[in-house]
Structure 1
Amino acid sequence: MTDQSIQFELERGIARITLNRPDKLNSFTESMHGALAEALTQVEASDARVLVLTGRGRGFCAGQDLSERQMAAGAVDLGDTIERFYAPLVRRLRALPMPVVVGVNGVAAGAGANLALAGDIVIAKQSASFIQPFCRLGLLPDTGGTYVLPRLVGQARAMGLALLGDKLGAEQAAQWGLIWQCVADDAFDARLVELAEHFAAAPTKGLAFTKRAMNQSLGHTLDEQLDMERDLMRELGRTEDYAEGVSAFLAKRQPAFKGK
């Protein structure tokens, strides 16, 4: 990968993508979007069983690099930017057949905050914060923000975050259910490794199907969801990991899942 704004690693079933523009709080440029898309292509083609996404430096991601907008001549088509970059990014993360663990190491603002919320398990340093500053620019929360915020924290809190643009600390974000866990700063790196290693040894297909079912439940009736559970469980019942899980349970030993 020639663009160093994204760093990609793959080892022992763990794929790691690190946003790497620390001097700009990892804010997005078009070339950075391209590098991230390339990294996700590598994840999709690999034998990874978990993706860990985090940022380098004191911020996770400050959203769009607005200096790139200033350099553009004439009016900017923000809808085109969503269509080409942010929407495909969210869709790919939600569709990955593995858990996506997001480690919010610092401020997550704008599209950066909503990128974090596209993950499946989101943890944040105690010193981190989440900000929806779109209202200060005459915009609305993109990158899935208007979708996930009311579903995670309810309509009233989502409206407050979106219309006021106030900073939300990681501890309160966890209390509100916006993220999974707020972690002490000095324990953050170890917790991220712990989660990555846990999922790398887990029954990946079952987790992928759980992710799919949870995501699709938001638009399903109960009957539709019950039918989906039936169909997915039927397929999972034929997997090697299910057979191994049952065998390990009966033998009172730790299972050795292969992700198949």
Structure 2
Amino acid sequence: MSEPTIGVERNGPVSVIRFNDPTTMNALTGDMAAELRRLLKQEPQTARAIVLAGSARAFSTGANLASAIPESLEGFDVGATLEEEYNPLMETIRDLPVPLISAVRGAAAGVGASIALSADVIVAGQSAYFLEAFARIGLVPDGGATWLLTRAVGRVRAMEMMLLAEKLPAPQALDWGLITRVVEDEAVESAAIEIATRLAKGPSHALALIRKSCWAAVDDDFLTALRTERRLQREAGEHPDFAEGVTAFREKRAPNFGGRG
């Protein structure tokens, strides 16, 4: 019996979801996208942080073209795949109630790059790279890439990545502000899990609200962001984690946060 192409490793309050199809360098099929979405909905029921990882050679090389594109292209709507499979996945990532950390080794290309770059914290190895290869086959970037890239690195650099379809090495991605940190290749997953473990000990309800406010703020004007912060701050203040945080501060001890609740 073959191993699943996406697996889960649970380490206490941290779940590691792993792409596991090394023969294709973790190229994604529609079934894999659906399974990843299912796991991202399932794991927050018990996990307080999620790490998304691949293998040594690749985080993911994007959509598996061999399985996604039919022999005859007549009448074939490439965009339907996005509507049915990848766009719902990206919406699920946006709406996660727990922090998401991506651990990138090797290639992160196409929609695989979009998934990696949609995480809250992005840890990459020295030899990792990001690639928007769509122009090479006459397509446009997807998985929210146009939105993610322009907001992370600006229109001009995003244009360069998408039009030239060249590899962007991890150190340059860090310099551009596209990713969070670069570590030695062999330390990528341990660094990501360490961050996830730290976040799992935090005020889960407040972290969920931070994610919500940040995703909203990217498209909101300043006054709308202020109103969102006011609304979510009230919600955070009504949660037991706030009382515990204040008590711990006054007692000069580490807080013991109980979870989302």
State the shift of 1:238 in Å. Answer: 1.1
Pairing 1:36-185 to 2, within 5 Å after superposition? 36-44=36-44, 46-75=45-74, 76-185=76-185
8 Å CA contact 1:3–1:32 kept in 2: the answer is: no
- Per-residue CA deviations over 1:95-144 (Å, capped at 9, x if unaligned) read 00111111112110111111111111111011100000111111111000
Q: Distance in 2 between matches of 1:15 and 1:140?
A: 32
**Matched residues in 2 for 1:226 and 1:65: separation?**
42
* Matches for 1:111-260 after TM superposition, within 5 Å: 111-260=111-260
**Aligned-partner Cα distance in 2 for 1:83–1:97:** 23
Q: Distance in 1 between matches of 2:91 and 2:3?
A: 23
Partner AA of 1:117 in structure 2: L
Matched with 1:18 is 18
Following the alignment from structure 2 to structure 1, what is the Cα–Cα distance between the partners of residues 134 and 4? Answer: 28
Task: Write the distance in 2 (CA, Å) between the matches of 1:231 and 1:30.
Answer: 38
Gaps of 5+ in 2: none
**Structure 1 residue 3, shift from structure 2 partner:** 7.1
Offset, 1:186:
2.9
Count of aligned pairs? 258
Letter in structure 2 aligned against 1:52:
V
Distance in structure 1 (CA, Å) of the matches to 2:222 and 2:12? 38
TM-score (normalised: structure 2): 0.94
CA apart distance, 1:182: 0.9
In the superposition, relative to structure 1, how do residues 98 and 41 fare at CA in structure 2: closer, same or farther (>3 Å)? closer
Moved more, 188-197 or 133-142: 188-197
- CA shift for structure 1 position 71: 4.4
CA gap of 1:189–1:9, structure 2 versus 1, over 3 A, is closer
Cα deviations by residue, 1:202-260 (Å, 9 ceiling, x for unpaired): 11111111111111012212111111111100111111111111111111111111123
Which string of whole-angstrom CA distances, capped at 9 and with x for unpartnered residues, describes residues 168-206 of structure 1?
000110110000111112322321221121011111111
Mapped to 1, the partners of 2:69 and 2:81 lie a distance apart of: 14
Does the CA-based 8 Å contact 1:5-1:35 persist in structure 2? no
* Worse-superposed segment, 4-13 or 147-156: 4-13
What is the alpha-carbon distance in structure 2 between the residues aligned to residue 142 and residue 154 of structure 1?
Answer: 17
Conserved? CA contact 1:3–1:35, under 8 Å: no
Gaps of 5+ in 1: none
Distance 1:70 1:221, change over 3 A: closer
1: CA distance, partners of 2:154 / 2:20: 33
CA spacing shift, 1:3–1:77, aligned 2, 3 Å: farther
Opposite residue 48 of structure 2, the aligned amino acid is R
* Residue of structure 1 equivalent to 2:27: 27
**Length-normalised TM-score, structure 1:** 0.94
2:51 match: secondary structure: strand
SS in structure 2 of the partner of residue 18 of structure 1? strand
Q: Is contact 2:34–2:89 with CA below 8 Å preserved after alignment?
A: no
User: After superposition, what is the alpha-carbon deviation per residue over 1:35-88, rounded to whole angstroms, capped at 9, x for unaligned?
Assistant: 2233223224x1221111010241000001111135454433211100011111
C-alpha distance in 1, partners of 2:253/2:186?
33
Q: Distance in 2 between matches of 1:72 and 1:246?
A: 62
Instruction: Give the partner amino acid of 1:61.
Output: S
